[in-house]
């Protein structure tokens, strides 16, 4: 058990950001990783030109890296936004325009997990109206994911850093997961269990794992405080990942932490353990 027994992937939207997008897969591969994940890379548009999509596909393939997680369009991220599914008007429209584009791209590179960030609460809009819109959009997204044999992920963020985001506890995200599955009958909506966000919310991480491992479709980690690499903070990440594995989780663990020098930040993980098994 331990770190050497996990399937890690590198989040290329938070690590290697000093490099142009198309150079990041090769950088991750040079460090020994074979799996990567991405936030939606085109924050200005939900529908990038086909040649841009093709260029990213080629960069992933040339590097020998498998994309294992992709966000749907989520607004300005990094930035003030936290998704679009529950935001009425233009942002919801942009999310819908993105659904098939993201799903088709994921299918083209064999990515089997699509993450839909819920979106912030909007001043002057009834939360119930936002939740109704979110469910409509998530049902469409779940069907698109199912069409390509993928899962739809619902993520908990943390209240200190995302004060307007309503899903700031494991149960709040699980409730949405259950509603989407009930509405579609597909069962492909899953929980994105981010140990950093949950720790920032002061949740009992062992209890969350025990309760929700079976509904978890993807895991992300960073240490707390600081959102740095494992070992830079106080979280017993190795033990928690062991617990997840014992609870039956067999998926990927995304390295979604901040580091001034990505390549130097992987010292906690032996080089021979970086290629995803």
**Options 37, 91, 203, 256, the catalytic residue:** 256
Output the DSSP codes for the chain. Answer: --GGGSEEEEETTTSSTTS-GGGHHHHHHHTT--EEEES-S-TT-SS--HHHHHHHHHHHHHHT-EEEEEEPP-SSTTTT--BSTT-TTHHHHHHHHHHHHHHHHHHHHT--EEE--B----TTS-HHHHHHHHHHHHHHHHHHHHHTT-EEEEE---TTT-TT-S--SHHHHHHHHHHHHHHHS---EEEEEEHHHHHHTT--HHHHHHHHGGGEEEEEE--TTTS-STTSSS--HHHHHHHHHHTT--SEEEE----SSTGGGGTTS-GGG-S--
- The pLDDT value recorded for residue 105 is 98
pLDDT tens per residue, range 130-164:
999 999 999 999 999 999 999 999 999 999 999 99
Give the span between the Cα atoms of 202 and 220, in whole angstroms: 16
Give the per-residue pLDDT at 2: 85
How would residue 198 be classed by pLDDT, with cut points 50, 70 and 90? Answer: very high
Characterize 45-76 residue by residue with b for buried, 16 or more Cβ atoms within 10 angstroms of its Cβ, and e for exposed: ebebeeeebeebeebbeebebbbbbbbbbbbe
Per-residue model confidence as pLDDT tens digits over 51-64 = 999 999 999 999 99
CA separation for the pair 136, 34 (Å, rounded): 35
Please identify which of the residues 37, 91, 155, 203 carries the catalytic annotation. 155
CB-based contacts of 105, cutoff 8 Å, min separation 6: 53, 56, 57, 70, 111
Q: Nearest-CA neighbor of 16 among 29, 1, 34, 3? A: 29
In this prediction the pTM is 0.98
Q: What does the pLDDT read at residue 69?
A: 99
The answer to whether residue 277 scores a pLDDT higher than 90 is no
256: annotated active-site residue: yes
Residue 1 has pLDDT above 90, yes or no: no
Structure tokens at 229: 């690499």
238 is catalytic: no
The rounded mean pLDDT for the chain is: 98
Confidence band of 265 (pLDDT split at 50, 70, 90): very high
Contact 24, 74 (CB under 8 A): no
In this structure, are residues 112 and 147 in contact, taking their beta carbons and an 8 Å threshold? Answer: no
Question: Cα–Cα distances in Å, from 69 out to 34, 37, 229?
Answer: 13, 5, 19
- Angle, helix 90-109 to helix 50-63, in steps of 10 degrees: 40
């Amino acid at each position: 058990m331990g770190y050497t027994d996990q399937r890690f992937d590198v989040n290329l939207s938070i690590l290697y950001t000093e490099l142009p997008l198309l150079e990041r897969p090769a950088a991750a591969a040079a460090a020994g990783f074979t799996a990567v994940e991405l936030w939606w890379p085109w924050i200005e548009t939900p529908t990038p030109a086909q040649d841009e999509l093709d260029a990213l596909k080629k960069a992933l393939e040339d590097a020998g890296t498998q994309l294992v997680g992709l966000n749907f369009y989520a607004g300005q991220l990094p930035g003030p936004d936290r998704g679009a599914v529950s935001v009425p008007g233009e942002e919801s429209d942009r999310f819908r325009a993105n659904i098939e584009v993201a799903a088709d791209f994921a299918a083209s590179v064999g990515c089997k997990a699509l993450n839909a960030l819920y979106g912030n609460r909007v001043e002057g809009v009834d939360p119930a109206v936002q939740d109704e819109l979110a469910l409509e959009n998530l049902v469409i997204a779940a069907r698109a994911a199912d069409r390509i044999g993928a899962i739809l992920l619902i993520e908990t963020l943390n209240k200190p850093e995302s004060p307007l985001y309503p899903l700031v506890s494991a149960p709040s995200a699980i409730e949405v997961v259950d509603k989407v599955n009930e509405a579609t009958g597909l069962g492909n909506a899953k929980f994105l269990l981010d140990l950093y966000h949950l720790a920032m919310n002061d949740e009992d991480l062992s209890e969350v794992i025990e309760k929700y491992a079976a509904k978890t479709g993807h895991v992300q980690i960073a240490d707390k405080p600081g959102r740095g690499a494992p070992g830079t903070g106080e979280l017993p990440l190795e033990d928690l990942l062991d617990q997840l594995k014992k609870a039956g989780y067999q998926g990927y663990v995304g390295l979604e932490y901040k580091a001034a020098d990505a390549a130097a930040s992987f010292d906690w993980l032996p080089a021979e353990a970086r290629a995803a098994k």
